[in-house]
Amino acid sequence: MAAARCALALALLAAPTQALAARRRSPVRMSIAPSDVVVMMNGLPGKMGYSCAEACVARGMTLADVALTGEPFAGTPTDDRIPKVDLVAGGSDEAEKRGAELAKKCKEQGKVLVAVDFTAPQAALPNAEYYARHGMHFVMGTTGGDYDAIGKTVTDGKHGAVVAPNMSKQIVAMQAVVDQAARDFPNAFAGYDLTVIESHQKAKVDTSGTAKAVVASLKELNGGGFQVEDVEKVRNDETSLNGANGRLGKVPSEHLPGHAYHTYALTSGDGTVTFELRHNVNGRSTYAEGVADACLFLAAKADAGFPRARFLGRRKRLFDMIDVLQEGAMS
């Protein structure tokens, strides 16, 4: 009988578990003094570069005096929003030399060096290889790179990374919640119509990536045939300002050049019931704050030697924003 129970128990243990449930067994939270973290802000003089640098400095981290940039921007002086940074071209000998010096100096001073990467799709993998060569931990928000290859530079190395296409903790949490809902309650909204409308700055041509991801989950809830092309894109100042007659939040005029407003609506077949989810973002601060959180998370993990998540667990060095969120949940 005991043997049978044991066999049953082992069989059940082998069953697949939900990702989130497994992640709940997290270790106690670890932390590091922000002043012990040095951030190499690669992607300056881009807007996200400035926003991330400002957020990290505001949180008490130190900005490295050198950073990678695209070749046309090498030597561009940084402006006075942030401490002075020398911008060197990624892939250059200068980049190798300055990177090695920076890594050496941080090590000597007992600081944890974290590179932040908001560069370009074609730079993502070469930069990841650069971080591996110099043993730099990194937080990468650059999209469009080869995520598998980038992940391999980390798992093959000894350093750590947070890699995520969306660095906003709250948006990532919202996406995870909707995704879980679709798995828990497929067809709970059968017979409901799904409509999606989003507004972004006029310069953004394609459909919101967040909308695409959320729609992929929501369509499980109503079991319907919603297509990405059915997302209504607003790229018109007047409509953005008036909130598409109540269907969207109203975009403040100063944020017309940079905003991301979304409304997902599920409406019952008889029209009597509507559920709406809206997420409206002005500017870049939620992403920059997420980057700062990710830097502190990663530096603390590195400082603790990337401890095992649990007894007999593997040492984990490659993370995403869900990991950062879950760590926050332990605080």
Q: Which residues bind a second copy (CB under 8 A)?
A: 5-6, 9-10, 12-13, 17-18, 20-21, 24, 168-170, 173-174, 176-177, 180-181, 184-190, 192, 221, 243, 246, 249-250, 266, 268, 270-283, 285-286, 325-326, 328-329, 331
* Nearer CB in complex with a second copy: 62/286: 286
HSE, side-chain direction, 13 A CA sphere, residue 38: 20
Q: Is the dihedral of CA 175, 176, 181, 183 positive or negative?
A: positive
* Nearer CB in complex with a second copy: 102/289: 289
Instruction: State the minimum distance, in angstroms, from the CB of residue 181 to a second copy.
Output: 4
Spatial CA neighbour of 287 closest among 176, 166, 201? 166
Q: Computed over its alpha carbons, how large is the radius of gyration of the chain?
A: 22
* Nearer CB in complex with a second copy: 189/306: 189
Report the C-alpha gap between 193 and 197 in whole angstroms: 13
Q: Which helix (H) or strand (E) holds 200?
A: strand 193-200
303 to 77, 101, 317: CA distances (angstroms) = 32, 20, 12
Instruction: Point out the catalytic residue in the list 105, 152, 204, 250.
Output: 204
* Nearer CB in complex with a second copy: 89/181: 181
Residue 202 falls in the annotated catalytic set = no
Instruction: State the minimum distance, in angstroms, from the CB of residue 174 to a second copy.
Output: 6
Residue count of the chain, please give it: 331
Instruction: State the minimum distance, in angstroms, from the CB of residue 36 to a second copy.
Output: 23
Neighbours of 44 (CB within 10 A): 27
Residue 84 falls in the annotated catalytic set = no
Instruction: State the minimum distance, in angstroms, from the CB of residue 91 to a second copy.
Output: 35
By annotation, the residues acting in catalysis are 200, 204
